[in-house]
Amino acid sequence: MLRFFSLNRRGVTGFLVGLVLLALTLVGITGAASSSSSAKVSAHLTATTLASSQAGSVKLVYRFSKPSKSFAYRLSFRKGSKWQVVKSVKRTGYFKGSKTMTVKKLFAGKPLKLGSYRLKLSVGKSSKLLGFEVVKVVPAIAAGSFHTCALLSSGIVECWGQNNHGQVGGDLPYRSSAAQVGGITNAVSIGAGSYHTCAVLSNGTIKCWGENQYGALGDGTTAHRTSPVRVSGITNAIQVSAGFANTCALLSDGTISCWGSGKATPARVPGILKAVQISVGGDHTCALLANGTAKCWGGNSDGQLGDGTTTNRSTPVQVKRISNAVQLSADVGTYDIAWVTMLGVPIGGSHTCAVLVDGTVKCWGADGNGELGDGKATPGLGVHRTTPVRVSGISNAVQVSAGEYHSCAVLSRGAAKCWGSNYFGQLGDGTATPGPGAHRTTPVRVSGISNAIQVSAGFDHTCSLLSGRKIKCWGSGFGSAPASVVGIP
């Protein structure tokens, strides 16, 4: 009897365990189905206007509110009054969290035609509709230390501001209104450094003009130029970025070439094979890679390379705690040439910022004026962070720009926020606070800006490209609130 009871007891126990496991399985299946059916998708593109050459760097950023077992998208091209399907994809699996996909991957080998596109993302009963345009030239702005340039949709470049080294073009020492740079009619990308400017042309070559003491113009000489000269040996560039004494170009094969800092002709950067963006700072350079990580090299006295040290690096090192970036920016770098010549080293702000896939921003490097934006800065020299810290209060950024001692970001709905030094009113909140306390350690909203597409921060000023292709600037020469640029059509 005891043995019979024991066997039955084990049987009953097994039966009960089986029922519990079956119930848990059914609950899991029901929960997964419920989760999948109630999942929603949110999304944005890192740029809504792009050239075909930018398809590998512009990204779709999308996020699932809950795990989903399916995901679909349909890409359509506007032909006349109708929408023609270019690509339709449905995927099954397990999707959760934030994801990215380049526009190039969306097309999956299909050619990018000039015109308007519509992208519909679907998750269960939820959908998100996005639009973007492929154009020949994408309008853009680039702020140098004390000058700014604009790339217009026609392919011409107009510049204004200080011209003491020819960085604006021509011989006038200062231009208060925008003027066309001679010899540039087919630009597709621009970069403004401390005292020089460069443009990528539609044929993949580059022209530069301005200060050339360290070979930053790349023409094999160290002669200053008030009109554009061709960079030697570059024929497949898609983006250019200029710093204090050097310039770098992103090439169509994902590699990077740099020149300046004593080398008057371009040389490939070792260890960079799949770059999608390049940004040159005052004495350091950073590259965003296709997998969302970043590598930096150069000066590191303030931790601007983000590798956890203050050791200078002659070759690229991985930035710590950055694995899902969609865009980055190194500080503009403003160094007085006389001081650099006397001391042999640059002196100035050095920091870097990046927008992450979830819309947050992280910055690293010098923080003596609150330019890292986490609210923990203590004003003074030698204050820095050697690894990235999160900027306070920003969760929906689409683009960031690091100026000399301040930083600014464009938010998803077109607003702009800035933080750091406000000595010249470069934060754009309607105030200017000269003196040691002239800073904001957390972001403040730029007054009157609600339709920003891009922002570019210099030394003492900031400019923003707005929808409708208008440009407004604030800071030195403009006042502490945004003002229109004279001469921009």
pLDDT tens for 38-61 read 889 999 898 899 998 899 889 999
Q: Are 346 and 363 in contact (CB under 8 A)?
A: no
Domain contains 20: no
Q: Which of 134, 169, 198 is a domain's end point?
A: 134
- Are 255 and 294 found together in one domain? no
- Are 213 and 312 found together in one domain? no
- Are 441 and 468 found together in one domain? yes
How do the pLDDT tens digits run along the chain, 489 residues long? 334 334 454 554 554 445 444 444 444 444 444 444 588 999 989 889 999 889 988 999 999 999 999 999 999 999 999 999 999 999 999 999 988 999 999 998 888 999 999 999 999 888 999 999 999 999 999 999 999 999 999 999 999 999 999 999 999 999 999 999 999 999 999 999 999 999 999 999 999 999 999 999 999 999 999 999 999 999 999 999 999 999 999 999 999 999 999 999 999 999 999 999 999 999 999 999 999 999 999 999 999 999 999 999 999 999 999 999 999 999 987 655 443 444 344 444 699 999 999 999 999 999 988 999 999 876 665 689 999 999 999 999 999 999 999 999 999 999 999 999 999 999 999 988 776 567 899 999 999 999 999 999 999 999 999 998 899 999 999 999 999 999 887
Q: How many domains does the chain have?
A: 3
- Are 381 and 408 found together in one domain? yes
- Are 122 and 143 found together in one domain? no
Which value, to the nearest 10 degrees, does the dihedral of the CA atoms of residues 252, 256, 260, 265 take?
A: -60
Domain contains 22: no
Neighbour tally for 50: CB within 10 Å? 20
- Are 255 and 291 found together in one domain? no
Give just the sign of the alpha carbon dihedral 246, 459, 457, 177.
negative
- Are 114 and 185 found together in one domain? no
Domain contains 463: yes
If we measure between CA atoms, which residue out of 207, 217, 147, 148 comes closest to residue 182? 207
Q: Beta strand pairing status for 49-50 and 126-134?
A: parallel
- Are 325 and 257 found together in one domain? no
- Are 192 and 327 found together in one domain? no
Domain range holding 70? 41-134
Which pTM does this prediction carry? 0.88
Q: Which of 92, 117, 134 is a domain's end point?
A: 134
CB-neighbour burial class of residue 6 (10 A; exposed 0-12, middle 13-18, buried 19+): exposed
Neighbour tally for 307: CB within 10 Å? 21
Domain contains 254: yes
Domain contains 28: no
- Are 307 and 446 found together in one domain? yes
- Are 250 and 314 found together in one domain? no
CB contact set of 411 (below 8 Å; sequence gap of 6+)? 394, 396, 397, 398, 417, 452
Q: Beta strand pairing status for 41-45 and 59-79?
A: antiparallel
Q: How confident is the model at residue 110, as a pLDDT?
A: 87
Give residue 203's Cα distance to chain centre. 24
Maximum separation of any 2 CA atoms in the chain, in Å: 111
Distance separating alpha carbons of residues 468 and 392, to the nearest angstrom: 30
- Are 80 and 110 found together in one domain? yes
